[in-house]
Amino acid sequence: MAFQSKDGKSFGSKFVAKRRDSEHDKAAQVMGATSPAENKPAPAMEQEPAEQEQNPMQEDPKQVAAQHGPANTVHIAHDHKAKKHHVISTHADGHVHESEHASAKEAHDAASALAGGEQQPAEASAAPAPEADGFSMPKLA
């Protein structure tokens, strides 16, 4: 007996089909897109414009980095067809920042700012110190 998921794929187990449906729904909510076979908007998608109307201004990435410190992880998801570029950053104090941008360049610039990209490490420009035995490591690249 075959059990079908919402997207039409057949599975030998009812539980596996349900899990695929739930994982697919989670992925669609995270990416903000639906599969081509599913043209109905999800209930969570109907609430998004109302949330965007309440928060029309997104936080400035530089302010977020200044307030919460540089991000430990930054994830960028691109949806070029819908012209949406989503940036998610996690900071050392546990703060998670999400923002959406109209172009890939804007998303990458925001990700750089969230990661503290404007801050240059002080040691990068300094010459390497010789080791205890007097050998100085040459610059390889």
Identify the domain containing residue 13 by its residue range: 1-34
Q: Kindly state whether residues 29 and 61 are assigned to the same domain.
A: no
Q: Kindly state whether residues 67 and 108 are assigned to the same domain.
A: yes
How many domains would you assign to the chain?
2
Q: Kindly state whether residues 61 and 116 are assigned to the same domain.
A: yes
CB environment 105-132: b (16+ within 10 A), e (fewer): eebbebbebbbbbeeeeeeeeeeeeeee
pLDDT band at residue 73 under the 50/70/90 scheme: very high
Q: Is residue 131 part of a domain?
A: no
Q: Is residue 127 part of a domain?
A: no
Residue 25 in tokens: 């729904």
pTM of the model: 0.45
Tell me the pLDDT tens digit for each residue of 118-139: 654 545 555 666 677 878 778 8
Residue-averaged pLDDT of the chain: 76
Q: Kindly state whether residues 68 and 112 are assigned to the same domain.
A: yes
Q: Kindly state whether residues 28 and 64 are assigned to the same domain.
A: no
| φ, ψ dihedrals at 119, nearest 5° | -80, 125
Query: Shortest CA distance to 43 belongs to which of 23, 21, 28, 56?
Result: 28
Contact 98, 59 (CB under 8 A): no
Q: Does 19 score more than 70 pLDDT?
A: yes
**Eight-class DSSP state of 137:** P
**For position 109, what pLDDT does the model report?**
92
